[in-house]
Structure 1
């Protein structure tokens, strides 16, 4: 099975090509360039280096959200455009699940945390039980204090990863009451290879969609939408006073 995977949901831009469970190529950058500048050239580089024919792909996998609103739109529109042009299905992989899959096979609970600003994180809780990926708490947007409390109540050793770790590391160290660790650098951020690997599992379970059906998952309103909502609320309050 041939899968092209894309992840531009956060700070990292990543593209991977997996063929029958073999990682043929993976291109990941974590640099100060917008994903609109990097994603298509990265795909083109992988195509040129490996000689793959995109028409032979079985599916296109994408980290579908949550994450950066701009990054999600770029990744999803790229996957959607390729899917429509090539007439290939899309495998939408929830971003936090894809991030957790970096730690495939680990014995601890996995807690990805992506910085969602305003002292919030995109997060969830996962584990590998008898080699199978299990969801203990589905992905969500909550305060860092809420997920720390949830982990404490779970009472099990946990491994954290994601771009929220450097932001909230001191709070985790101060407030966590269970054994914990932080993923090493090569596993700590989004990787399209993990998205592709999990996508293959979802393919077997029939979790696919057409390119026309695909849309990103935001979990919460964008900053512009929040500001508009707050403005309308103030206008209503002013009108009622």
Structure 2
């Protein structure tokens, strides 16, 4: 089985093709370019380098959130378009899951954190338990200080774009219990997302292309502004 994976939940964008034996190829780009302009060229170049077409793909996987509202929508639109147009299976995987999964073998709590603005982060907690990858709480959006307070007394590996923003605060509060992912697994990668999707594909655990919507956790700024204006109009 072969999966095309698309990652677009944050500033970085990535695409990968993975099968049951290996990552066949991956393109990763963390640069100030809009996902809407680079995702399809990345996919086209990846398939061209591998000398395959979408017809050789069994499923399309995509970052399902949380993360950048715009990035998630662009990635989902691309993945759904490909899957629907070529009648491929569709799987959405949380980028938090993918980042934590890449920290294989860490003996402690794994805590990916994504920037949710105003010192808030999207996060979830994970661990490796006798070789099994486990999620141990629900996806959340909360203030970085509240998260750190919850983690005190535990050995914790941090990863994600918000790790760079809050690293000094984390070190100050957690000291020797704070660990940080290396650059190679700091950001969500399409290959890790694809590997998790491949596991679900084997189990037949698919998402419905027509009903799936991203894990937003909280409203977008546009939605919050709309509700604020509506409340003001009713006053």
Please state which band the TM-score falls in when normalised by the shorter chain.
Answer: over 0.9
Structure 2 counterpart of 1:189: 187
Does the Cα contact within 8 Å between 1:156 and 1:178 map onto a contact in 2? no
What's the CA shift for 1:107?
A: 1.9
Q: Find the residue that maps to 1:141 and give its secondary structure.
A: strand
**Deviations 1:9-67 (CA, angstroms, capped at 9, x unpaired):** 00110000002231000000000000011100000010100012211211111111111
CA distance in 1, matches of 2:3, 2:208: 15
Equivalent residues of 2:15, 2:26 under 8 A apart? yes
1:111 and 1:126 in contact (8 A); partners too: yes
Inter-partner Cα distance in structure 1 for 2:156 and 2:109: 5
Structure 2: where are the runs of 5+ without partners? none
Alignment match, 1:114: 114
Corresponding residue for residue 13 of structure 1:
13
- State how far apart, in whole Å, the 2-side matches of 1:27 and 1:54 are: 17
Tell me what 2:178 maps to: 180
Please list the CA deviations of residues 87-114 of structure 1 after superposition, one character each: whole Å capped at 9, or x if unmatched. 0111110121111111122222110000
Structure 2 Cα separation of the partners of residues 104 and 213 of structure 1: 32
Are 1:162 and 2:163 an aligned pair? no
Per-residue Cα deviation, 1:181-227 (whole angstroms, up to 9, x for no partner): 11111110010000011112222333212322332221111111111
- RMSD of aligned C-alpha atoms? 1.4
TM-score, length of structure 1 as denominator length:
0.93
Between the two proteins, the alignment pairs up a number of residues equal to 235
Once residues 99 and 144 of structure 1 are traced to their aligned partners in structure 2, the CA distance between those partners, rounded to angstroms, is 18
In the alignment, does 2:26 pair up with 1:26? yes
Unaligned ranges ≥5, structure 1? none
1:155-198 residue CA offsets vs partner (Å, 9 max, x unmatched): 32111000001111122122226611111111100100000111
Partner of 1:92: 92
- Which digits, 9 at most, give the CA deviation of each residue in 1:98-150, with x for residues without a partner? 11111122222110000000211000100111111101122211111121122
User: Contact 1:6–1:62 at 8 Å: present in 2 too?
Assistant: yes
